[in-house]
């Protein structure tokens, strides 16, 4: 310390005085680059939270995404030759890469902003086009005669008009049926590639006039009669799915008398779709 002071002050040797150099004062606050970086990270976090809020976990799409990632990084998505058992490698060591079943790559168009944020694509496994379906309904003047529902498995179009039957018989209550709507529905099915679900119903405890058929047999006979009518009018049989429910699904009419509910329950109603539910979808492992 003494030597430093002596050298700095010149000392006995008469050396020159060295002035102490001070660093400039640092500005207060964080550096500008750090503020920009923090803003960027915050925006990215917000963006991914937004994507997560729109997303819905679906097994098929999860597997497709996994297949795309593994394909990009050289995984055995489409493996040839002998297939390694799941969870084992050639030297019998544990592994997480090998799989018995190939996984389809993820559709790249889904990664676009439109594909991510369009709920019609992210919340449904079906590839039905809602706008195209609406266009078909407008073309055959059915837009005002149907209710459209979005469901996880696709779009369901329920025809408002139903075919009602007299008690205990297959005779149509003519005052209750709209021939015009039925004709337009038939034209849609014969000219466009739609599927129709014919659903037969009966009222509670209903039996046929000859006491030979119970509610289930009556509802099945009514659905079958309507199905045959559609086929005679040119609808292809493979477009039709015929089901019946007996008396377990009566019509729900709030504030109506029991007699009116029973009359409304003796019915056949229609659901039309672009995709048949019997169509095989993406097969997944049951284990």
Average pLDDT over every residue of 87-116? 47
> For the chain, how many structural domains are there in total?
2
Residues 58 and 107 in one domain: yes
Say yes or no: 159 and 259 in one domain: yes
Q: What would the DSSP string read from start to end of 114-158?
A: HHHH-HHHHS-SS---HHHHHHHHHHTT-GGGEEEEEETTEEEEE
Parent domain of 41: 32-119
Cα gap 73→67, rounded to integer Å? 10
112 pLDDT higher than 50: no
Q: What is the pLDDT of residues 15-40, one digit of tens each?
A: 566 677 777 777 777 777 888 888 89
pTM score of the predicted model: 0.55
pLDDT for the residue 199: 94
The answer on 268 and 132 residing in a single domain is: yes
pLDDT for position 154: 78
**In the prediction, which pLDDT does 255 show?**
87
SS3 content of the chain, % helix, strand, coil (to 5): 40, 15, 45
Q: Within this chain, do residues 79 and 132 fall inside the same structural domain, yes or no?
A: no
| H-run or E-run covering 183 | helix 179-191
Q: Are residues 106 and 159 in the same domain?
A: no
Whether 13 is covered by a domain: the verdict is no
51 located within any domain: yes
What number of other Cβ atoms are within 10 A of residue 267's Cβ?
A: 23
Which token pair is 110?
Answer: 């889904």
CATH number for the domain that contains residue 164: 3.30.1330.60
pLDDT in tens, 121-153: 434 445 578 888 999 999 999 999 999 988 877
What residue ranges in the chain does DSSP mark as E strands?
146-151, 154-159, 163-164, 195-200, 240-244, 267-273
Which of 75, 92, 119 is the last residue in one of the domains? Answer: 119
């Amino acid at each position: 310390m003494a030597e430093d002071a002596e050298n700095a002050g010149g000392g006995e040797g008469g050396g020159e005085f060295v002035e102490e150099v001070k660093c400039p004062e640092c500005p207060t606050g964080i550096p500008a680059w750090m503020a920009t970086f923090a803003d960027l990270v915050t925006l990215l976090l917000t963006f991914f939270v937004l994507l997560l809020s729109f997303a819905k976990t679906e097994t098929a799409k999860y597997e497709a995404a996994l297949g795309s990632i593994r394909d990009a990084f050289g995984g055995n998505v489409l493996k040839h030759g002998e297939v390694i058992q799941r969870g084992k490698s050639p030297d019998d060591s544990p592994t997480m890469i090998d799989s018995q079943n190939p996984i389809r790559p993820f559709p790249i168009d889904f990664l676009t902003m439109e594909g991510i944020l369009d709920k019609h694509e992210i919340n449904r496994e079906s590839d039905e086009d809602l706008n195209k379906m609406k266009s078909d309904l407008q073309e055959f003047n059915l837009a005002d005669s149907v209710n459209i529902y979005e469901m996880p498995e696709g779009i369901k179009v329920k025809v408002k008009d139903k075919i009602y039957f007299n008690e205990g018989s297959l005779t149509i209550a003519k005052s209750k049926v709209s021939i015009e709507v039925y004709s337009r529905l038939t034209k849609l099915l014969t000219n466009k590639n739609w599927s129709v679900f014919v659903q037969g119903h009966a009222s509670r405890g209903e039996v046929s006039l000859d006491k030979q058929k119970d509610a289930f047999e009556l509802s099945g006979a009514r659905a079958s009669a309507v199905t045959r009518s559609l086929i005679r009018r040119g609808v292809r049989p493979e477009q039709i799915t015929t089901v019946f429910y007996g008396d377990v699904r009566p019509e729900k009419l709030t504030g109506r008398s029991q007699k009116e509910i029973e009359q409304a329950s003796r019915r056949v109603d229609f659901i039309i779709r672009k995709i048949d539910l019997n169509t095989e979808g993406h097969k997944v492992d049951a284990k």
